[in-house]
Amino acid sequence: MDYVGRVPAPPLDRFIDDIHCLTGVPSHRRMNVPPMPSAHLFVNLGGPVRLRDSDPSVPPAVFTDRWFMGLWTRRFLLEYPTRVRLVGVHFKP
């Protein structure tokens, strides 16, 4: 899977750490995402992405188009489809 990330030009660089794109076949279908002190916006242009909370009482979420994650304090497990096409924005805290 290819990762391309860019820092936006001013004035967006005051608010956004990076804009990134993931494409291709992932080497690992699952990724542990630790707690993060910032917000993220994802636009999914590929197959469904499954997000599992580390709290087993929370049912998994399936995202087919886009989702926004604010600040979170728990770990998540992200399950990629067989082919990934994802654009993301990582906002500054």
Question: How many percent of the chain have pLDDT more than 90?
Answer: 87
Mean pLDDT for 53-79 is 92
Mean pLDDT in residue range 9-34: 95
Q: For the chain, give the mean pLDDT.
A: 94
Q: What is the pLDDT of residue 73?
A: 87
Rounded to a whole number of angstroms, the distance between the first and last alpha carbons of the chain is: 27
Helices (runs of H) and strands (runs of E) counted in the chain = 0, 9
